[in-house]
Amino acid sequence: MPTILDGIATAAAIKRDLSRRVRSLRLHGVQPGLGTLLVGDDPASTRYVAGKHADCAEVGIHSIQRRLPADAGQDRILEEVRALNADPACTGFIVQLPLPGAIDPNAVINAIDPAKDADGMHPYNLGQLVLHIDGDPGTPQPCTPRGIIELIGSHGISLDGKDVCVIGRGVTVGRTIGLLLTRRGENATVTLCHTGTTDITRHMRQADVIIAAAGQPGFVTPERIRPGAVLVDVGISRVLDAETGRYRIRGDVDRACYPKASAYTPNPGGVGPMTRAMLLTNVVEIAERAVGETRPE
């Protein structure tokens, strides 16, 4: 039977540890605080931000919520970013993407203080990952890639020497996860595949691990994987069910692949909870660095 890489249970264990660390920080007079900036009223973004603040309440992290209307201009958004940069109660924060209209998301991300970059996506922090191949760079790390690696490792699966095929070249996962996977601690060999890849099926069949982040429902099928592969499903698509007339969530990995795999992430319930847990982890680690503590092993 394949191993189910249960993100819900693993994230719950991480949050229990974070609760203990938050209590320790309070003994040093430090209260970690997570800020969010939500622009507009997109239902999915609103639910996602609400979930982050529910997580904060669970582990004892202070919530700082900022919201702007959908017609807020870039100058107004940048003004709010600068306010969060300067707020001493805000340990780290995120600007919820996507941003509406003609707002330049890169300009907004660049305006975040790298030391408060709870998503770990500021160019400075990504650059630190490039420079540090031997371990923790001491800066916030991208949440979804870090969550994937934590989830795999927590189930006793080694990435050392494994061939990993990453599908999709988005910044959130595809273009960033290779920086973590190729550190000496993970020691994996990474192939990044995308729409320009010739014979993508060949790369998938050769892989020990497939990380699918293409946003194409059912893209990974049984005939495209090797027996015993580890399957990590990052993609989320809303697909109309012809029988019910309702939309349902489908991942990039066809569920028919599961019996052929040695391990897989359910979707939902796999990578998503880990991304949120890593967001909290980044905030707590930022606070720990401020008081000179080190992350427990």
At 109-165, the pLDDT tens digits run 999 999 999 999 999 999 999 999 997 899 999 999 999 999 999 999 999 999 999
pLDDT reading at 296 higher than 60:
no
DSSP letter, residue 201: H
Task: Write the CB contacts of 224 (distance below 8 Å, at least 6 apart in sequence).
Answer: 201, 204, 205
The fold for domain 128-273 equals Rossmann fold (3.40.50)
pLDDT at 203: 98
User: Residue 242 — pLDDT band, cuts 50, 70, 90?
Assistant: confident
Q: Is 7 annotated as a binding residue?
A: no
* Number of Cβ atoms within 10 Å of the Cβ of 284: 26
Residue tagged active-site, from 15, 55, 96, 252: 96
* Domain ranges, ordered by start, for the chain: 27-115, 128-273
How crowded is residue 289: how many other Cβ atoms within 10 Å of its Cβ? 16
d(CA 236, CA 251) in angstroms, rounded, equals: 5
Residue 236 in marked binding region: yes
What would the mean pLDDT of 214-228 be, rounded to a whole number? Answer: 97
| pLDDT tier, 293 (very low <50, low <70, confident <90, very high otherwise) | low
CB 269 within 8 A of CB 3: no
Ligand-binding site membership of 157 (annotated):
no
* pTM to 2 decimal places: 0.94
Is 119 designated active site?
yes
Share the mean pLDDT of the chain.
95
Q: Is the pLDDT of residue 247 over 90?
A: no
Query: 15, 116, 117, 119: which one is catalytic?
Result: 119
pLDDT tens per residue across span 200-213: 999 999 999 999 99
pLDDT in tens, 40-94: 998 889 999 999 999 999 999 999 999 999 999 999 999 999 999 999 999 999 9
pLDDT of residue 243: 82
Mean pLDDT of 215-240: 95
Residue 116 annotated among the catalytic residues of the structure: no
**Are 27-115 and 128-273 the same fold in CATH?**
yes
C-alpha closest to that of 2 among 264, 222, 210, 212 = 264
Mean of the pLDDT values across residues 214-229?
97
Q: Please enumerate in sequence order all residues whose Cβ is within 8 A of that of 75, keeping only pairs 6 or more positions apart, or say none.
A: none
Between 274 and 44, the higher pLDDT residue: 274
Average pLDDT over residues 176-191: 97
For the chain, strand residue ranges (E) read 3-4, 33-39, 62-68, 92-95, 163-167, 189-193, 209-212, 230-233, 237-240, 247-250, 263-264
Using a 10 angstrom Cβ sphere, with 0-12 exposed, 13-18 middle and 19 or more buried, the burial of residue 290 is middle
| CATH architecture for residues 27-115 | 3-Layer(aba) Sandwich (3.40)
The contacts of residue 185 (CB under 8 Å, 6+ apart) are 134, 135
Our answer to whether residue 96 is catalytic in this structure is: yes
pLDDT band at 177 (very low <50, low <70, confident <90, very high): very high
